[in-house]
Amino acid sequence: SMSDHGGPPPLAIDADLTAQWLTGFLREEMTRRGFTRAVIGLSGGVDSAVTAFLAARALGAGNVTAIRMPYRTSSAESLDHAQ
């Protein structure tokens, strides 16, 4: 583990509960504002992948459109992941 090498201890979170809370938050906020669909920009990185996953969970996969939007310094591997 990282703590064996002088790093901080791993972050302990309940991933299922966190995903459930974030999904509920997205669903409520979108509904409150009258939206039923979302467009997500995918870079191939972790942040945009998590955003797309949570949006699909909250709104239904058919209500989420992902657009590949690489950054100029995106690696070829990230672009493949976004695709």
> pLDDT by residue for the chain (83 residues), tens digit each?
455 667 888 888 899 999 999 999 999 999 999 999 999 998 878 888 899 999 999 999 999 999 987 666 666 676 666 56
Residue 12 phi, psi dihedral angles, 5° rounding: -100, 110
With 0-12 / 13-18 / 19 or more C-beta atoms within 10 angstroms meaning exposed / middle / buried, residue 57 is middle
Q: What does the pLDDT read at residue 53?
A: 95
Alpha-carbon distance 4 to 78, whole Å?
Answer: 31
The whole-number pLDDT of residue 4 equals: 60
- What DSSP string describes 12-71? ---HHHHHHHHHHHHHHHHHHTT---EEEEE-SSHHHHHHHHHHHHHH-GGGEEEEE---
Backbone angles phi, psi at 34, to 5 degrees: 85, 15
Supply the pLDDT for residue 69. 79
pLDDT of 9: 81
pLDDT of residue 40: 93
Tell me the two tokens of residue 43: 């870079």
pLDDT of residue 78: 63
